[in-house]
Amino acid sequence: MKVVIQRVSEASVTVEGKVVNSIDNGLLILVGIENADDIGDIEWLCKKISGLRIFNDKNGVMNNSIIQEEGDIIVVSQFTLQASTKKGNRPSYINAAKPEISIPLYEQFVAQLELETGKKVGTGVFGADMKVALINDGPVTIQMDSKNRK
C-alpha cells in the first residue's frame, strides 16, 4: 500500500460539481492499494500516519502529530499510485488491486485511521472522477510504502 500524505491548510474533494468533503488544517492522504496488501499494511501505515510529527509546535518546529494538532483528515483512493513506469511511456496499473479487493481495504484503512486518531475521517468517492483541491502547507508532502518499511 502506498500513500502520499500532504499537510494542508485546506483541502476539498468535489464529485460532479458537488463538494463531498472539505477540511481546513489537517492532512490530505492519497492511498494506492495493490493486490498484495492486507490488514498488516493498514495497521502499520495508520499507526505511522497518526504519530507522524509534521505539524509545527509553538516554536515553529515540526514536532506535533495530527492528533496533537487536532487536525482533520481526508483520505482519497488513488490507484495511479501503483503505476509502473518501467517500460515505455504508458504507465501500467497491473499491480493496482481491483475494486473487489481495494474497496474493503480502503474502508478498513479509513476505519483504522479513525481508530488511531479518535476522529472521523473524511473521504472522496471511491472510483469516481474526483477533483481534489488543496493548499499544501509548508509544503509538506511525505510518501510511504508499506512494502518498504525502512
Cα–Cα distance list, 71 to 24, 26, 102, 103 (Å): 8, 4, 26, 25
The verdict on whether 14 is a catalytic residue reads no
The verdict on whether 123 is a catalytic residue reads no
Q: From CA 101, how far away is CA 98, in angstroms rounded?
A: 6
Catalytic residue among 6, 14, 55, 79: 79
Q: Which grid coordinates belong to 70?
A: 487536532
Residue 118's SS3 state is: coil
Q: Buried (b) or exposed (e) across 85-96, using 16+ Cβ within 10 A?
A: eeeeeeeeeebb
Q: Give the chain's radius of gyration (CA, Å).
A: 15
The verdict on whether 68 is a catalytic residue reads no
Which segments of the chain does DSSP mark as H helices, in order? 39-51, 66-69, 99-117
Catalytic residue among 6, 14, 78, 112: 78
Active site residues: 78-80
